[in-house]
Structure 1
Amino acid sequence: MSYAIDTLEHMFEYKQVSPASASSASATAEEFLAGREASGGATLTAAERVAELQSRISQMQSRTLSSTLIPTHPAIASLLPGGGLQQGSVYSVDSSAMLLMTLLAAPSAAGSWCAVVGVPEFGIEAAQRFGVNLERLVLVPHPGDQWLAVTAAIADVVDVVVARPPTRASDSAVARLASRLRQRKSTLLMVGSWPQSEAMVSLGESQWHGIGNGHGHLAAREVTVTVTSKSAGRPRSARIWLPDASEQIRSYSVAESGPAQLTVLPQQVSA
């Protein structure tokens, strides 16, 4: 295990990531204005320089933020900023195996490589039924105390990574990981809360169907999925089947509403 970690850290060069990108935008903008004036343009007033700088930086930021979205299930994508998972971003996700598999299924089916780090109970048979391609799935059930280095190294070569942190990471480690994700355009689904998350995907009230008057079996579950993001003014919620009686994930229709059978409080949800 130690040799494997050393190899991953060498490939990743985790602690050698430069944080200089934050200052490069303003420096480039200043060089742009200096070149503009030196090339014969009229000398700019202070207000004009500010306006030019703001315009230049906005253009640079828009190019950075316009990276390709990774598709995910339509029932959840409609709640996410931009309608999908942003490359190079981190999303905090509730500890629900079904929710994680639902988020992974569409990218996996589209050809993306996925990885799951530090979630030993993640069931590959269930994941396959949800649509995850096992041929493009990497599992690291027990990364140990090197979980952050392992997660960062795998994000270097995998499109979507699920990770569950066993301990709280330092602010500097969080910043280095965020920088690496932006460089490699990898998306991280962090189980539980995580600093600098693009959005939080959480489960609300969960209601199971299938239990009658003392008989039957659990056949379907409807849940409330809520996405809280930095860019949206208020949380977005939707009721979805996770799954329905035919093991499909889809939006819940009001026409399907019926008598409540078994309600599970949010803190009890783990499936």
Structure 2
Amino acid sequence: MAAPLPRQDRADALARLRRHLVDNGTAPEARRRGPADGGDIPVHPLLRPLVPGGVLPRGTIVAALPRTGVTASGGTALSYTTLALIAGATAGGAWAGVIGFPNLGIAAVSGLGADLSKMLLLDEPGDRWPDATAVLANAVDLVLLHAPRRPNATQLRQITSRVRPTDRQRGCVLIVTSPWESAHLAVTARDPQWEGLGDGTGNLGGRRVTIAVTGRATHGHRREAEIWLPAADGTISEYVPETEQQPEHEQPEQPQRPQLRIA
């Protein structure tokens, strides 16, 4: 029989276990009410290890830059990561409002698992975009905002106050597609690798990408995970390096969580 851990070592081990449970959304304090009851906003299971607590608390501001380049209509293209955040939230029962994206990829976000019946779209708010954001912040659980210009100090205060939960308002999660001084999380994607073209011929099959999350909410640590976004079937899937893949008859029935790296 192994000797019990010294008191100090036991306390450190319990603290590490508690942090692990909170990060994966399984600790008691992370299992809060659902979005319909004014609780936190869910994220896709493969993205939960990147978010402290595995959910997005109301009042959280997330900065997620759009993809480089433009769409066929000349507009800005939403990143797949942003679409994945919307998909995870609506699939988990949250309502989402999208402001300033007339070229939102409906087919793409639907393929990632979004519940389109829980999405409200305001394509062209014009100069009234701060007012539109304030109104939707009191009506839905998550707001995606593409502001036409950098907000001034007054607009920042107005929007932040509407997003923050109080005794009189439930608050919401705000995702912005431009740098935002008061953002709690910054989500970026790097090293994208499309597969399926071969030597210049064939069809795109899927994109392997590393998703990174930083910001005040991660206490200075960078959280990273490599996933398929999108996978060959248009969904979000786990990426397993070939060196770690098991023979088909030995593979577990349930997918493993993506490997989380904290720098």
- TM (norm. structure 1) is 0.67
Query: Aligned with 1:185: secondary structure?
Result: coil
Q: Unaligned 5+ residue runs, structure 1? A: 1-62, 258-271
Please state if 1:76 is matched with 2:76. Answer: no
* Equivalent in the alignment of 1:245: 232
Paired residues of 2:57 and 2:173 also in contact (CA < 8 A): yes
* Equivalent in the alignment of 1:179: 161
Aligned residues: 194
* Equivalent in the alignment of 2:196: 210
Query: Aligned with 1:82: secondary structure?
Result: helix
Paired residues of 2:111 and 2:235 also in contact (CA < 8 A): no
**TM-fit CA distance, 1:119:** 1.1
Measure, in 1, the Cα distance between the counterparts of 2:209 and 2:200: 23
After superposition, where does 1:1-271 map in structure 2 within 5 Å? 68-95=39-66, 96-183=78-165, 184-231=170-217, 232-255=219-242
Measure, in 2, the Cα distance between the counterparts of 1:100 and 1:240: 14
**Larger relative helix fraction:** 1
**TM-fit CA distance, 1:69:** 2.7
Measure, in 2, the Cα distance between the counterparts of 1:191 and 1:256: 36
**TM-fit CA distance, 1:140:** 0.7
| 1:256–1:217 distance in 2 versus 1, CA, 3 Å | farther
Measure, in 2, the Cα distance between the counterparts of 1:185 and 1:122: 24
Paired residues of 2:96 and 2:140 also in contact (CA < 8 A): yes
Paired residues of 2:113 and 2:235 also in contact (CA < 8 A): no
| Deviations 1:69-117, CA, capped at 9 Å, x for gaps | 3111122221112222121221101213422221011221222111110
> Which protein is bigger by CA-based radius of gyration?
1
| 1:73–1:256 distance in 2 versus 1, CA, 3 Å | farther
Corresponding letter in the other structure for 1:208: W
Query: Aligned with 2:213: secondary structure?
Result: strand
Corresponding letter in the other structure for 2:178: G
Measure, in 2, the Cα distance between the counterparts of 1:180 and 1:155: 6
Query: Aligned with 1:248: secondary structure?
Result: coil
Paired residues of 2:61 and 2:183 also in contact (CA < 8 A): yes
Spell out structure 1 runs of 4+ moving beyond 3 A: none
Paired residues of 1:89 and 1:178 also in contact (CA < 8 A): no
**TM-fit CA distance, 1:141:** 0.9
| Deviations 1:169-188, CA, capped at 9 Å, x for gaps | 11222122111111332111
Measure, in 1, the Cα distance between the counterparts of 2:148 and 2:110: 26
**TM-fit CA distance, 1:256:** 7.0
| Deviations 1:200-252, CA, capped at 9 Å, x for gaps | 01111110000112320111001111101213232111111001222220232
Query: Aligned with 1:78: secondary structure?
Result: helix
The percent identity for this pair of structures is 34
Query: Aligned with 1:218: secondary structure?
Result: coil
Measure, in 2, the Cα distance between the counterparts of 1:236 and 1:189: 18
Paired residues of 2:97 and 2:120 also in contact (CA < 8 A): yes
